[in-house]
Structure 1
Amino acid sequence: MNTIPGRRTRVLAATTATAGLALVAVTVSGCTSSGDGGSGSKTAAGGVELVKGGQLTTCTHLPYPPFQSEIDGKVQGFDVSLVDLVAKDLGVKQTVLDTPFENFKTGAFLNSGQCDLAAAGMTITEERKKNVDFSDPYFDATQAVLVDSKSGITSLADAKAKNAKIGAQAQTTGEEYVQKQGFDPVSFESSDAVLNGLRAGQVKAVVIDYPVVQGWLKNKANADAFKVVDNLNTGEQYGFTVKKGNSKLLAAVNKVITDAKADGTYKKLYEKWIGPYDASAASPSAS
């Protein structure tokens, strides 16, 4: 994803997902730890220090469905729902800031105290670990090759053989992957722009995270027009990030990931937002 010149950070309301129920606005407020100084305190349950009292401030980059996207002024998605669980454990509510993706790689918004954590479907890499602390992996990701159904392209290798123009989301591991395969991809700022580029014929194929493609293909018009011809197992795992050294918040996030997988909450959220759940890999079933 590209940093948008002059782009302003937007504050958006987050929602919380409850299995089997419609999304409702977060209403949890205040802190639960003893001696925390009330709802305005920056110290939450477990002694976790927050950048703003009474709220867990999350940086993301929109849109990136099914992990996070804005609907009617509220951010919803798989990542949002998991971080809502963290906020609940801390006795606060979640607030989401829409920020340029480049900041997630550098940790800029964490280091400047604008956000407590970042959740943006971000792959854990050694390079990124130099700037931020990652949570335990919460998602195993694959890359999909999506093409126009009438293109005649059958795989990424076939796209290369046919010298087909490839699109990818800028500053992502998908873009890096196709570059390593010898492509000079067209870079798009957001996942929606990637799909629109394919739809408009700017590119013949796109490479992007498979769960994102799953979300697109839930729409019948998209399913009729496009198809997945390759699923690339790149060994990627997503993690949430916190400022380096923020061990208490990191521990709180890791506890939620572990507990949610153990009590079935993770599976329910996964199936709600992403699709069929493979317990052995916690990744979507390929189609």
Structure 2
Amino acid sequence: MKKAPLALAATALLLTACGSSGTSATTESGVSLISEGKLTVCTNPPYAPFEYEENGKIVGLDADIAAAIASDLAVEAEMYTTSFEGIQSGVALSSGQCDIALSGITVTDERKTVMNFTSSYVDDNLAILVPADSSITGETDLSGRKVGVQQATSGEKYAKDAGADTVQYEDNGLLLQALQTGQVDAVVGNITVLSEMLTADSSLKVAQEIETNEKIAAAVSTENTALLDSANATLKKMQDDGRLADLREKYLGLSQ
């Protein structure tokens, strides 16, 4: 399902060119952006409910947060599809492909060395997803089993640490397909995302939810502190006025 459609791929190439050409702009509030009038946002759909395509447009929790951050900067948010490896490694930000990354990103100490994180907007756990008739009941059953993971994620690290024979996929659309067709015995990933897979296919079940208390946040280049401050100010306003709670309930079913 994922590899970016041609139209999105073309947009990605165009944005990359813009980002590397030095044609940057500064908002009235003093925030530097790679393109005038736009907040270019790196993301990696399909990763519902954080980001996914609907009627040719990227929507979801991250898209709505990006729109709010852009609105406070008096610019438009433009979603830019790129690989999650490029996002989590910091390369997409440091090379000027985008201003900010919103892609269900878990905050880790390693990632903090190559990007700056905003305050978190979702707390999450990991989970193991299996077919309903699977004999896998939890972490202890993963050793030696073929387990699907999205590359460069905390789910991949967890599965490897559990002794699984991990199989990498670029996105969760491919992960779901692999589990449905028996290419893998289980999938390990964030519970918020795996719950969406359960909605799409009732023949699956969560074998175990793993309490990791991961923090999901947006990320910016280590050099763009002005954008970090602005994004944090928007997230605080959204927390205070209830918009974040509304979005978590809308997309994640969380009433917190």
Q: Deviations over 1:158-202 (max 9, x none)?
A: 344xx5322211111100011112222122221111111110001
Distance 2:11 2:127 in 1: 31
By how many angstroms is 1:41 displaced? 8.6
Is 1:255 the counterpart of 2:233? The answer is yes
For 2:133, give the aligned amino acid. K
Q: Deviations over 1:56-92 (max 9, x none)?
A: 0001112111101111210001011111100110111
How many matched pairs?
242
By how many angstroms is 1:275 displaced? 1.1
Q: After the TM superposition, list the runs of 4 or more consecutive aligned residues in structure 1 that deviate by more than 6 angstroms.
A: none
Summarize the alignment of residues 17-96 of structure 1 with structure 2, pairs less than 5 Å apart. 42-96=25-79
Summarize the alignment of residues 223-242 of structure 1 with structure 2, pairs less than 5 Å apart. 223=202, 225-242=203-220
Summarize the alignment of residues 146-157 of structure 1 with structure 2, pairs less than 5 Å apart. 146-157=129-140
Question: Are residues 65 and 218 of structure 1, via their aligned partners in 2, closer, same or farther at CA, if it must alter by over 3 Å?
Answer: same
Q: Deviations over 1:91-148 (max 9, x none)?
A: 1110011111221133222222221111111111111111111111221111111110
For 1:11, give the aligned amino acid. T
Could you tell me which runs of 5 or more consecutive residues in structure 2 were left unpaired when the two chains were aligned.
Answer: 13-22
* Correspondence for 1:106 among 89, 97, 102: 89
Question: Are residues 131 and 9 of structure 1, via their aligned partners in 2, closer, same or farther at CA, if it must alter by over 3 Å?
Answer: farther
**TM-score relative to the length of structure 2:** 0.88
Question: Are residues 178 and 247 of structure 1, via their aligned partners in 2, closer, same or farther at CA, if it must alter by over 3 Å?
Answer: same
Q: Please identify the structure whose Cα radius of gyration is greater.
A: 1
Using the aligned pairs only, state the percent identity. Answer: 36
Partner of 2:175: 194
**TM-score relative to the length of structure 1:** 0.79
Once structures 1 and 2 are overlaid, which stretch shifts more, 147-156 or 85-94? Answer: 147-156
Question: Are residues 117 and 231 of structure 1, via their aligned partners in 2, closer, same or farther at CA, if it must alter by over 3 Å?
Answer: same
Q: Is the 8 A contact 1:168 1:207 kept in 2?
A: yes
Q: Deviations over 1:190-230 (max 9, x none)?
A: 111111111000112111111111212223xx12x101121
For 1:190, give the aligned amino acid. D
Q: Is the 8 A contact 1:10 1:98 kept in 2?
A: no
Once structures 1 and 2 are overlaid, which stretch shifts more, 103-112 or 258-267? Answer: 103-112
What secondary structure, in the 3-state scheme, does the structure 1 residue paired with 2:32 have?
A: coil
By how many angstroms is 1:264 displaced? 0.8
Partner of 2:107: 124
Is 1:269 the counterpart of 2:255? The answer is no
Could you tell me which runs of 5 or more consecutive residues in structure 1 were left unpaired when the two chains were aligned.
Answer: 13-39, 280-287
Q: Is the 8 A contact 1:11 1:95 kept in 2?
A: no
Q: Is the 8 A contact 1:135 1:253 kept in 2?
A: yes
